[in-house]
Amino acid sequence: MKMKLLAYCAVMSILLMSCSKTHITPVPNTTDTTTNHGGTPPPATSSYLNNAKSTHNSISNFYLTSYGSYRVNTTTNTTGAFEWYNASQLYADAAMVANGDQSYVAGMNNTFNWLQNLWDKNDVNGGYFAAANLNGSGAAGDKYVDDNSLTGVAFLAAYDVTSGSTQTQYLTAAENCATWLINSGLWDNTFGGGFWWSTQKTVKPTQSNAVALQLFLRLYQITGQSVYHDWAVQVNTWLNTKMYESSTGLYFWQIESNGTQDTYKFTYDNAIMLEADLLWAKAMNDNTYLAKAEALGNAMIKTLYNSTYNAFIFNTNDIRLNPCYCGWASQAFIRLYEADGNSTWLTYAKANIDKINIVLLNQANNGYYQYAGLDGAGKYSNMEGVDQAWMQRVQVLLSKYK
């Protein structure tokens, strides 16, 4: 997920507070702990579902190609396609199918077929390359643990909503992603374990390992194979002994190859870990991990949620808003609500999405800008495909409840 590193190249002044800015701070609900998620049902036609559909229409109009791929953006990179951008779109379409709309199946499957152009056929262990031309040619170079892991997780989301031979293909492809991770040589004893971010072996980040953990847990849950169990335990142990910061209750960014610890806290790193805790609770039949996920959610609210603007920040060193990296928190909090029934999590998930819609949505084409300050200052002009995919996904997830 390369955009995270590139984000530091931009220098901008962010206005953190505004006396004239009106806002409503979510009020925690400590009494609603129902497990059937009853409460007030969403309207017959949720505005968030309409938003998700409008976003998808924008994606189809501006990003989708005749090859079944999705271009990087509409400004600076219109002739290339990134693996994790396309996997994120598949992930978003799987959410639409899970919500009952079968019209998204064809696009989801087309994206799956296109992604196979990026599979390394010259490596016995395979692995997806990070980028290619729109027609799928030119795939080569580095491979990334987070990209391959997220692709596998997306495939399993598609597995959940398909059947027959198509479902088998998705499961096999996800297992292939895990096989590459296991045999890639990117897990070693440097810093006591952990996956390197990429084949360049420059850093060992939380998010790469956390998404890999999600993939291993889901595969263990589906197949019961001990190899996935054992890898999940190994990755989880490393994350909690090397990357967890007890003083904040959060996971920090990464360890560089020279041993330097970059201790910024990213919203999406911790959102991914929160979801991993919830998966652990189910796959390992260990309900203590539900409490662990709840504690992580509260730590995210304390440090990563800006109560003035009612949104999750990019990271503790860069207080901006981004549809994907900040929106990821909404997905995690929706999943947390589904696990414990506490509507507080939905309050934060909704407020975060609402702020992204206010600050970053282009009303003219229903697309989302990449970055802006929490007050809208310094808005980027480019619109990344991955941001569109994630706003489609998180809004359809929220539409089940709001």
Q: Provide the pLDDT for residue 5.
A: 42
Q: What's the pLDDT at 16?
A: 29
In the chain the domains, ranked by start, together with CATH numbers, are 37-77+179-398 (1.50.10.20)
Model pLDDT, residue 379:
97
Q: Which residues contact 329 (CB under 8 A, 6 or more apart)?
A: 267, 268, 270, 271, 300, 304, 312, 348, 349, 352
Q: What pLDDT was estimated at residue 40?
A: 52
Write down the pLDDT at residue 44: 67
Q: pLDDT tens digits, the chain, 402 residues: what are they?
A: 744 444 333 333 332 223 332 233 343 333 333 334 544 555 668 999 999 999 999 999 999 999 999 999 999 999 999 999 999 999 999 999 999 999 999 999 999 999 999 999 999 999 999 999 999 999 999 999 999 999 999 999 999 999 999 999 999 999 999 999 999 999 999 999 999 999 999 999 999 999 999 999 999 999 999 999 999 999 999 999 999 999 999 999 999 999 999 999 999 999 999 999 999 999 999 999 999 999 999 999 999 999 999 999 999 999 999 999 999 999 999 999 999 999 999 999 999 999 999 999 999 999 999 999 999 999 999 999 999 999 999 999 999 999
Quote the pLDDT of residue 363: 95
**CB neighbours of 259 closer than 8 A, spacing ≥ 6?**
191
Whether the model clears a pTM of 0.75, i.e. scores above it, the answer is: yes
The rounded distance, in Å, linking the Cα atoms of 176 and 182 is 10
